Amino acid sequence: MKRKFALLLACALAFALLAGCQAKPAGEPEAEAMRVWLGACADVAANVRESMLEGQALLEQARIAPPKARISVARTAAVKPQAVAHALAAEAAIKDEWIRWHKPAVLPPVQTQSAAQGLPYYIMVNRAQNTVTVYTKDADGNFTVPFKAMVCSTGRPGCETPTGEFSVMSFKAPWCYMIDGSYGQYSTGFREGGYLFHSICYTAKSKDAMMMDEYNMLGQFASAGCVRLQVADAKWIYDNCAVGTGVLVYDGDVPGPLGKPQTLGGQLTEESYNGWDPSDPDPENPWLAGN
């Protein structure tokens, strides 16, 4: 009975949080308030998932229990699978609400390279190789001339960056609060649903709070679906790629015609780490000569 009551209480809390999603006013919340709210939702989802696993274990016990005990065990377990829907709904609500607060303006998708005529660049993201190559136009006006290559991190398993043709959107932000509670510099939207080019993540809205481990993951699958870049590369896209710039995300066997660059600082260590991205062009960056 206590177990069932605890489960029902968790489910009720999940429903309350879902209701709260609908009741929250539009607009960017304060960072701390949102962090607390997301954490509460995640805790509920985790608790309900744990109940689901307990239910599966109880069902297994029911299969091997003596006949007279099977009914009691099975009845206790029967409540558990109902938690699956609540857990999934709570997690979906978390993501949907974040997207609603951060959703950039949507532009028509790029159907062909010619849709970006009049703009100087076309961005190709080789998801399989975690490499970005920027192209410019040839004499015929086609984007065939490789101009710049960048090492990146696309979505980790379960959070894969979607493939397809997209375009740079109107959403740009020098600092952006991320769904996981971190911050990113120089965010540029390229797909509906909150998919961005942005820097490595930071623990705070401060240039000396970069996550070293995430920086060292550049060139590997590491993000929640966005395309992570060194600060200098994220800023380059932010500064130079206007709304409508074509973006193609694909899987290829080779990085691209310019290869796959290394990070500017190489693998950071506890001794070399100072909180800054080595590529950040900010004059205060201690990696720059004279600082």
Q: How far is CA 169 from each of CA 11, 174, 188, 242, 283, rounded to the nearest angstrom?
A: 38, 15, 7, 8, 29
Q: Mind listing the pLDDT tens digit of every residue in the chain (291 residues)?
A: 434 434 444 444 444 444 443 333 334 444 555 555 555 555 545 555 555 555 556 555 555 555 555 455 555 555 444 554 554 555 455 544 444 444 333 333 334 444 445 899 999 999 999 999 999 988 888 889 999 999 999 999 999 999 999 999 999 999 999 988 899 999 999 998 899 999 999 999 999 999 999 999 999 999 999 999 999 999 999 999 999 999 999 999 999 999 999 998 889 999 999 999 999 999 999 998 755
| Residue 259 burial (10 A CB sphere; 0-12, 13-18, 19+) | middle
Distance separating alpha carbons of residues 58 and 291, to the nearest angstrom:
62
Sole residue written with tokens 């029967």: 78
Q: Residue 228, Cα to own-chain centre: how many angstroms?
A: 9
- In the chain, where the domains are located: 2-102, 113-250
What does the pLDDT read at residue 29? Answer: 47
Distance separating alpha carbons of residues 163 and 127, to the nearest angstrom:
8
Q: Are strands 227-229 and 195-199 parallel, antiparallel or unpaired?
A: parallel
What does the pLDDT read at residue 57? Answer: 60
What does the pLDDT read at residue 201? Answer: 96
Against a cut of 0.85, is the pTM above it?
A: no
Least Cα distance to 231 among 281, 268, 161 occurs for 281
Least Cα distance to 288 among 47, 279, 191 occurs for 279
When the candidates are 3.30.420.40, 2.30.110.10, 3.30.70.120, 2.40.440.10, the CATH number that belongs to 113-250 is 2.40.440.10
Distance separating alpha carbons of residues 47 and 105, to the nearest angstrom:
35
Q: For residues 200 and 275, is the Cβ–Cβ distance under 8 A?
A: no
What does the pLDDT read at residue 117? Answer: 59
Helix axes 31-64, 2-23, angle to 10 degrees: 150
Half-sphere exposure of 278 (CA within 13 A, CB side): 14
